[in-house]
């Protein structure tokens, strides 16, 4: 044939020596998949050199080792035959031709697995080493086969023998279908919708490839796709220190503290504290807390110029625990908290004193500047009595909580910048 004559003039890599270990791992084999693709590798001889007759019983187009070097030493690229080159865009719907060039062995293996899936026939990669790759259909008597050899001094592989016809029937269970293949194929869809329903994804994928996909395979495919998009969880913790340095570099004066614990002689992440500093002026901060033990003293030491307020809802809960229950106590407490003038606040406190002197004394023990609008500092221009803003913020970052540590911090940072800018634009 004319094509065989062209192939004999092309350079190919020598087959490996007898003492080299043959690689047999498949690119898409995953031990955690429900279905296994571990086939027994055929080996009819201890000699790994390519014989005149391949293991399929048909004559290979390479007759001898001399064919490998038939054009050795030629540096004239113009004399190189114009063989078809595989287009990576077609990796999930490949077509093979005799003489076709693949850029890497991994690309060739992926194309073989994709061919097996779209044709719904299991294919076994029988030889997979540094100089050649052989594949054939697992069904006995089926004529589909492919032999490829490595090109000399390149990482490319070329199809040297190809039998394109399947004589076996299709199957709903294809052993080449793995979670890694699924995660790569549907990566863009997971980018658009990371919270995609697992059951819906499995049904859609099965309808698309027309092959069986187990629930465990679908779960692993989604997990691997998210890892490719957002990074592996363990790797992101190693990037945390770089993130801290970048925050300090871009926001001079900021405080970032990473807490660690000792576990088996290694430092393990425990918590992170971030306090951003802005260069365009000094700010007086206002904190609203639930009066947790130790917070008041901490604010006085760390943020001595800031305002500290109590969440009135938590304050009322403590008020009830002190024995002052009932709608009357609750109503007067909230009227005193909502009072906007000193006179109105005094009238409400007198009403509480008439109802119960002990309740009046309990409220007096809590400085009114911490819980009543009538005593708030006017500089912050904030009259909030509850920490509902914190609760609302926590509910808005639920999506970020599912992300790895660095991705989560970047998501929250972007969310806050967008929120602040929208509020600034609204105020203008």
Q: What is the pLDDT of residue 66?
A: 44
Of 312, 412, 309, 327, the residue nearest 369 (C-alpha) = 309
| Inside any domain, residue 14 | yes
Q: How many C-beta atoms surround the C-beta of residue 9 within 10 A?
A: 13
Residues 175, 35 contacting (CB under 8 angstroms): yes
Tokens representing 396?
């808005």
Q: What is the pLDDT of residues 158-184, one digit of tens each?
A: 999 999 999 999 999 999 999 999 999
Using a pLDDT cut of 90, give the percent of the chain over it. Answer: 39
Q: What is the pLDDT of residues 370-398, one digit of tens each?
A: 899 999 888 777 788 888 877 788 888 88
Q: What is the pLDDT of residue 252?
A: 82
Residues written for the chain: 428
Note whether 294 and 271 are same-domain residues.
no
Compare 399 and 154 and report the one with higher pLDDT.
154
Note whether 222 and 254 are same-domain residues.
no
d(CA 106, CA 156): 10
Using a pLDDT cut of 70, give the percent of the chain over it. Answer: 78
Residue 342 scores a pLDDT above 90 = yes
d(CA 104, CA 86): 10
Residues 369, 375 contacting (CB under 8 angstroms): yes
Note whether 130 and 268 are same-domain residues.
no
Containing H/E element for 418? helix 405-427
Residue 336 scores a pLDDT above 80 = yes
| Inside any domain, residue 411 | no
Residues 370, 204 contacting (CB under 8 angstroms): no
DSSP string, 313-345: HHHHHHHHHTT--SHHHHHHHHHHHH--SHHHH
Q: Which residue has the tokens 């495919």?
A: 221
Note whether 315 and 221 are same-domain residues.
no
Q: How many C-beta atoms surround the C-beta of residue 111 within 10 A?
A: 22
The residue-averaged pLDDT of 196-218 equals 91
Residue 363 scores a pLDDT above 70 = yes
Q: What is the pLDDT of residues 14-52, one digit of tens each?
A: 333 333 333 444 444 444 443 333 333 333 333 333 333
Burial class of residue 222 in the structure, from the number of CB atoms within 10 Å of its CB (0-12 exposed, 13-18 middle, 19+ buried): buried
In the predicted model, what is the mean pLDDT of the chain? 78
d(CA 94, CA 88): 9
80 pLDDT band, cuts 50/70/90, is: low
Residue 132 scores a pLDDT above 60 = yes
Q: What is the pLDDT of residue 14?
A: 37
The residue-averaged pLDDT of 206-221 equals 92
Q: What is the pLDDT of residue 34?
A: 38
CA Rg, the chain, in Å?
A: 35
Of 111, 115, 113, 131, the residue nearest 62 (C-alpha) = 131
Q: Which of 163, 192, 220 is the last residue of a domain?
A: 163
The torsion of the CA quartet 380, 382, 386, 390, rounded to 10 degrees, works out to -70
- List, in sequence order, the alpha helices (H) in 186-340: 187-192, 198-209, 215-230, 233-238, 240-250, 295-302, 312-321, 327-338
Note whether 13 and 104 are same-domain residues.
yes
Residue 268 scores a pLDDT above 60 = yes
Q: What is the pLDDT of residues 402-420, one digit of tens each?
A: 788 888 888 888 998 898 8
Q: What is the pLDDT of residue 36?
A: 34
Total domain count, the chain: 4
**128 pairs with which residues across the strands?**
133
Note whether 49 and 151 are same-domain residues.
yes
DSSP string, 46-66: S--SPPSB-TTSSB-S--SGG
| Inside any domain, residue 374 | yes
Q: What is the pLDDT of residue 28?
A: 41
Residues 151, 11 contacting (CB under 8 angstroms): yes
Tokens representing 102?
């693949």
In this predicted structure, which of 127-136, 262-271, 334-343 has the lowest mean pLDDT? 262-271
Note whether 205 and 314 are same-domain residues.
no
Q: What is the pLDDT of residue 60?
A: 45
Note whether 343 and 224 are same-domain residues.
no
Residue 365 scores a pLDDT above 60 = yes
Range of the domain at 254: 235-275
d(CA 100, CA 60): 16
351 pLDDT band, cuts 50/70/90, is: very high
d(CA 418, CA 424): 10
Note whether 29 and 128 are same-domain residues.
yes
Q: Which of 127-141, 190-204, 248-262 has the highest mean pLDDT?
A: 127-141
Residue 427 scores a pLDDT above 80 = yes
Residue 2 scores a pLDDT above 70 = no
| Inside any domain, residue 172 | no
Measured between its terminal Cα atoms, the distance across the chain in Å is: 79
d(CA 420, CA 426): 10
Note whether 196 and 291 are same-domain residues.
no
DSSP string, 110-164: HHHHHHHHHHT--EEEEEESSSEEEEEESSTT---EEEEEEPTTSS-EEEEEEE-
Residues 233, 408 contacting (CB under 8 angstroms): no
Q: What is the pLDDT of residue 348?
A: 94
Q: What is the pLDDT of residue 18?
A: 36
Note whether 8 and 150 are same-domain residues.
yes
Q: What is the pLDDT of residue 62?
A: 43
278 pLDDT band, cuts 50/70/90, is: low
d(CA 287, CA 285): 7
d(CA 255, CA 261): 20
Note whether 269 and 308 are same-domain residues.
no
For the entire predicted model, the pTM comes to 0.48
């Amino acid at each position: 044939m004319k094509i065989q004559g062209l192939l004999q003039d092309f350079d190919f890599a020598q087959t490996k020596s007898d003492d080299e270990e043959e690689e047999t791992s498949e690119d898409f084999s995953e031990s955690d998949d429900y279905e296994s693709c571990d086939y027994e590798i055929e080996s009819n001889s201890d000699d790994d050199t390519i014989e005149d007759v391949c293991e399929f019983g048909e004559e290979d187009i390479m007759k001898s080792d001399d064919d490998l070097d038939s054009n050795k030493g030629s540096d004239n690229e113009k004399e190189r035959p114009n063989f078809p080159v595989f287009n990576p865009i077609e990796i999930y719907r490949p077509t093979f031709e005799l003489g076709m060039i693949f850029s890497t062995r991994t690309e060739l293996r992926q194309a073989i697995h994709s061919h097996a899936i779209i044709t719904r026939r299991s294919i076994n990669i029988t030889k997979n080493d540094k100089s050649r790759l052989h594949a054939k259909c697992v069904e006995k008597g089926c004529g589909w086969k492919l032999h490829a050899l490595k090109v000399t001094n390149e990482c490319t592989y070329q199809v040297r023998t190809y039998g394109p016809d399947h004589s076996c029937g299709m199957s709903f269970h294809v052993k080449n279908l793995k979670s890694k293949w699924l995660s790569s194929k549907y990566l863009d869809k997971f980018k658009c919708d990371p919270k995609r329903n697992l059951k819906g994804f499995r049904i859609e994928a099965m309808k698309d490839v027309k092959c069986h996909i187990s629930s465990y395979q679908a779960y692993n495919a989604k997990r691997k796709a998210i890892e490719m998009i957002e990074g592996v969880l363990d790797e992101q913790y190693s990037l945390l220190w770089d993130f801290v340095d970048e925050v300090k570099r871009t926001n001079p004066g900021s405080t970032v503290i990473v807490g660690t614990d000792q576990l088996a002689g290694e430092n393990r992440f425990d918590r992170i504290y971030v306090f951003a500093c802005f260069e365009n002026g000094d700010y007086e901060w206002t904190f609203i807390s639930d009066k947790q033990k130790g917070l008041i003293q901490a604010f006085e030491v760390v943020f001595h110029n800031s305002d500290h307020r109590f969440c009135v809802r938590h304050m009322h809960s403590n008020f009830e625990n002190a024995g002052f229950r009932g709608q009357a106590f609750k109503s007067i407490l909230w009227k005193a908290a909502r009072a906007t003038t000193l006179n109105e606040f005094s009238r409400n406190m007198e009403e509480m004193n008439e109802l119960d002197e002990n309740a009046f004394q309990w409220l007096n023990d809590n400085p009114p500047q911490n819980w009543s609008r009538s005593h708030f500092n006017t500089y912050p221009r904030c009259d909030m009595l509850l920490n509902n803003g914190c609760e609302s913020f926590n509910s808005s970052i639920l999506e970020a909580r599912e992300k790895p540590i660095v991705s989560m911090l970047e998501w929250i940072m972007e969310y806050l910048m967008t929120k602040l800018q929208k509020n600034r634009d609204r105020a203008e």
